[in-house]
Amino acid sequence: MKLGLSVSTFPTKFGPIVYSSSSLEELDLILYKVSRFGYDGVDLFIDPTTESKAIEIKKIFDKYHLDIAMLICIYLADMGVNLSSLDESQRKKSVQIYSDQFKIAKILGAKLMPIGFIRGRIDVADDKASYEQRLALSLTELVKSAKEYGITLCIEPINRYEINTLMGLDEVADFIRKQNLQDIKILPDLFHMNIEDKDLAKSLRNAGTMVAHMHVPDSNRKAPGWGHTDYVSILKVLIDINYQGFLTIEAMPFGKEDECAVQGTTYLKSLLENLKGKTK
Ligand code: LER
Ligand code: MN
């Protein structure tokens, strides 16, 4: 398993981003620290980014031998991108807008992109079955072009206070199976799971190989070890299901970015070392 940290290329108030940068120079300084702290990569949050800027960003990642594990474009939901829109022309346009980001992901070498807020909320006038059909149609369309760019899409279960669909891990796994979306994977986030899922270890085990990426903040969205999440039971399952992906610390730093970054990697590395010793 590899360790990742949430970083943005723009100033943002979106909570669980450990480091935000406002220039390429600042990004360089952040990535220098991220690599020195022992991380393998970053989940990169971007604002609208040109191809030439993406090339410059990629150069900095290469300089520090850091991967971009996942590319995240949260601004798209604020712009009205909605993959389940009841308005067919808006749904199609949303598919197009998200597909356009795959070019940027390819330049950055990112192999994963999430399906988070852009899946859209379910309206009171709508019904669940048709919401799911519209979303599944958009995902089927997106997968075709994502494959051309070597990108895998991952649905992130998100808690009820932020969205009103696909909130728990079991629910997302069922949706993927029911809609025959075998190419779509899952991004479980331990903060959301702490709210929505009854037994985190059990749900992760059931999702098995559908898990392609992980966000691993603690129960209070602080760095691992600063809340009450039982990481040992979770890491044991991930080892059992042979999870090879990233554990990204998408945590709220509360003004203590360096402490948060150091705590996350120190804590998880020591738990992983300990578990490795026990399985030998
Ligand atoms: C949303 O709350 C979340 O957890 C992020 O991964 C946003 O993309
Ligand atoms: Mn997340």
pLDDT, one tens digit per residue, over 66-77 is 999 999 999 999
Ligand 1 atom with least separation from CA of 187:
6
Residue 13 pLDDT: 82
pLDDT for 49: 97
User: Mean pLDDT across the chain, nearest whole number?
Assistant: 97
Whether pLDDT at 280 is above 70: no
Pocket perturbation via mutation, ligand 1, pick of 74, 166, 252 by most ligand atoms within 8 A of CB: 74
Residue to substitute in 215, 216, 219, 247 for testing ligand 1 pocket (most ligand atoms within 8 angstroms of CB): 215
- Whole-angstrom CA distances from 270 to 37, 144, 195, 202, 274 are 14, 40, 26, 23, 6
Tell me the average pLDDT across 139-149: 97
The total number of structural domains that make up the chain = 1
Predicted local distance difference test score (pLDDT) of residue 277: 78
- From the number of C-beta atoms within 10 Å of its C-beta (0-12, 13-18, 19+), residue 202 rates as middle
The pTM (predicted TM-score) of the whole model is: 0.96
Ligand 1 binding residues, C-beta < 6 A: 72, 74, 114, 116, 156, 158, 162, 189, 215, 250
pLDDT at 258 over 90: yes
User: For position 14, what pLDDT does the model report?
Assistant: 80
Residue 220 has pLDDT above 80, yes or no: yes
**Confidence check: pLDDT of 15 > 90:** no
Q: What tens digit of pLDDT does each residue of 150-165 get?
A: 999 999 999 999 999 9
CATH number for the domain spanning 10: value is 3.20.20.150
Q: What span, in angstroms and rounded, lies between the C-alpha atoms of 263 and 215?
A: 15
pLDDT of 162: 97
The predicted model gives 44-72 an average pLDDT of: 98
Q: Determine the structural domain holding residue 200 and report its residue range.
A: 2-279
Of 137 and 13, the one with more pLDDT: 137
The Cα–Cα gap between 3 and 45 comes to 16
Checking if the pLDDT of 16 tops 70, the result is yes
- Confidence label for 48 from pLDDT (cuts 50, 70 and 90): very high
Strands (DSSP E) along 89-206, which ranges?
Answer: 112-115, 152-155, 185-186
- Measured over the CA atoms of residue 133, residue 135, residue 141 and residue 146, the dihedral's sign is negative
Ligand at minimal distance from the CA of 189 is: 2
Token representation of residue 107: 């330049």
Predicted confidence (pLDDT) per residue in 185-197, tens digit: 999 999 999 999 9
219/230 Cα distance (integer angstroms): 9
- Which atom of ligand 1 lies closest to the CA of 162? 2
CB 4 within 8 A of CB 40: yes
Pocket test for ligand 1, best of 119, 250, 252 (most atoms within 8 A of CB): 250
Task: Kindly indicate the confidence band of residue 279, based on its pLDDT and cuts at 50, 70 and 90.
Answer: low
